[in-house]
Structure 1
Amino acid sequence: MGGVEIRELECFLALAEELHFGRAGERLYVSQSRVSQLLAALEQRIGARLVERTSRRVRLTPLGERFRAELRPAYDELAAVVDRAKGAARGVEGRLRIGFQGTADARLMEAITTFQKRHPACVTEIAEVPFADPFGAVRAGDVDAAIVLLPVAEPDLVLGPLFSREPQTVAVSVRHPFAKRAAVGAAELREVPLVAAAAPAPAYWREAHAPSPVPAPAVRTLQEGLTLVAAGRGAMLLCRPTASYHGREDVVFVPVRGLPDSVLGTVWHRDGETERVRAFARAVADATAVADAAA
């Protein structure tokens, strides 16, 4: 890079955002004159002006605008590489926030236990992810990674290890015609209203978990859905462990034949991938492999 120093690039990026030499210096903990020196050195290396300064304002030249647009993502990626290397060097520590959708069952707890045994310096926190917003907590940064129901077709999210595959059941009122059945077929579900997730869950995700053209209420939580089921307002698809966990006297869970299994997967934001997240993904994969082998 022709001897360009990282401090020169940091100075330019700070100045490009602040458009003020004094404020840029405050951000970098250097004097205003040092900002001028670093900028001058960078411009000399490049061979053209990047910043225009008058007595009234500071602005980027057209070349400076293009340089900033191309430099920012490269600089951010370089900083992320350094952070990942530092994290790997000192081990996994700090705090890992894990979201889960549905039920925090034995498999999830085994994955968390595996992670904690490997990384005792990292504290784990667990939070439930709303049924109607499977990806919101990850996007908002409320959790670092989450175990959510598939499908996941979000370009800003990474789909990591699959967590489990479980047969589907349909929750119906004890008064529903399906309640006395040993099982129902997938085609039969298209004839009954299936309670679906409300927005902001994506349309493709809602349709995957309520594959019926018959109109039915939309809900935000599993408990809302089961309450509507108990009231005879519709049926609801749930995986077997979630059905077992949420068992109630006024709702019957009937196995469904002909539907793909319900699958959970680990997701995190592409911009939020850390060594802690990668270590948790490895723990999920290993704990799942052990559970599958024992099944």
Structure 2
Amino acid sequence: MGGTERSVPPRMEAPMNWQELETFLTLAEELHFGRTAERLHVSGPRVSQMIKALERRVGAPLFERTSRQVVLTSFGRQLREELDPHHRGVLEALARVTDSARGLGGVLRVGFSSPLASELLMTVVEAFRTTHPNCEIQIREVHLSDRINPLRNGEIDIQFIELPVDEPEIVCGPVLLRDPVVLAMSSEHRLAQRETVSLEDLADEHLLMIEGMPGYFIDRHFPVSTASGRPIRHVSTTTYWQELLALVAAGEGITIAAAQGTRYYPRPNLVYIPFDDLPPFEYGLFWRAETASAKVLAFAQTAQRVAASFSAVR
């Protein structure tokens, strides 16, 4: 054809492999090839093969591998951030269709962490039972010392606890409840006659805490220093809230608590003083992304609707 240029159709890429994406998201969470292989029930070489195939498809490395660690590259972090909501959406869509086929019956196990949360929770349960009478609701208390394991281990389907929860496999719903922060202390404490306290007042105090709380939760609610940099000494004492309050009332230290304590945990030798410079505790619903069911999602929607008119929301 004498020099006539012919257009060449673009080379067709192989269809996207769902297993590549599952492998990538699991490795991005574990950052360990062996644990990733165990979770996916495949061999270590198969994990490497899937990741290399995805990296060829993307055209850039997604992980930096050394003999000591595996870390996401900037491209890997971008891919995880953009994939997560879509991956979660696919899992939730499958859960909704599956439950639609099976019905919304069965059992829904719901956890809570505080008395005020339980009040709202019971209102939500009543509303949910009205629209889903075939679903049995089982309620269980979740302790501060073990906030996530019951959900992670499948003992609970959805739980209503304090924020934050910073766990890669856990989905956080909207904030449903807020409660002001107070300082709990013995009635003989030097601050017991104050109308309000500030974070600066905690300098050099012994701040008693529940054992087993995750670091990110402590960072949010139990500062290690005041705004001016003066230290606040942390003391982990017990796994039970009532025991901690007994120690506070005995003058062993102070603790940071939600204002609901004045109503649910009054003691003659215990005083609760509001903070004037700390944000309130926030409570929300949490569930596992991989096991989200239509019952879980329906309960979360009901809770959001009920919470909008719940008198304790502030």
State the partner residue of 2:159: 146
Q: What letter is aligned with 1:186?
A: L
What RMSD in Å do the two structures reach over aligned CA positions? 3.2
Say which is worse superposed, 139-148 or 240-249, in terms of deviation: 240-249
CA distance in 1, matches of 2:120, 2:250: 32
Change (3 A) 1:153 1:182: same
Tell whether 2:308 aligns with 1:289. yes
Structure 2 contact 183–257 (Cα < 8 Å) conserved:
yes
Shift of residue 275, structure 1, vs aligned partner: 0.7
TM-score, length basis structure 1? 0.69
Question: How do residues 1-295 of structure 1 correspond to structure 2 at under 5 angstroms?
Answer: 82-103=94-115, 104-199=117-212, 201-212=213-224, 213-218=231-236, 219-291=238-310
Q: Give the fraction of aligned pairs with identical amino acids, expressed as a percent.
A: 31
Deviations 1:167-202 (A, max 9, x none): 111111111112211111222134422212312x21
Say which is worse superposed, 271-280 or 214-223, in terms of deviation: 214-223
Aligned length: 231
Structure having the higher helix fraction is: 1
Deviations 1:123-143 (A, max 9, x none): 111111111121111111111
CA distance in 1, matches of 2:265, 2:163: 20
Shift of residue 120, structure 1, vs aligned partner: 1.0
Deviations 1:196-227 (A, max 9, x none): 2312x211212322224432431312112212
Q: What letter is aligned with 1:290?
A: S
Change (3 A) 1:198 1:290: same
CA distance in 1, matches of 2:255, 2:285: 23
Q: What letter is aligned with 2:162?
A: L
CA distance in 1, matches of 2:151, 2:283: 15
Structure 1 contact 183–257 (Cα < 8 Å) conserved:
yes
Change (3 A) 1:241 1:277: same
Structure 2 contact 112–118 (Cα < 8 Å) conserved:
no
Structure 2 contact 95–294 (Cα < 8 Å) conserved:
no
Change (3 A) 1:228 1:288: same
Say which is worse superposed, 234-243 or 258-267, in terms of deviation: 234-243
CA distance in 1, matches of 2:265, 2:298: 31
Change (3 A) 1:190 1:152: farther
Deviations 1:111-132 (A, max 9, x none): 1212122211111111111111
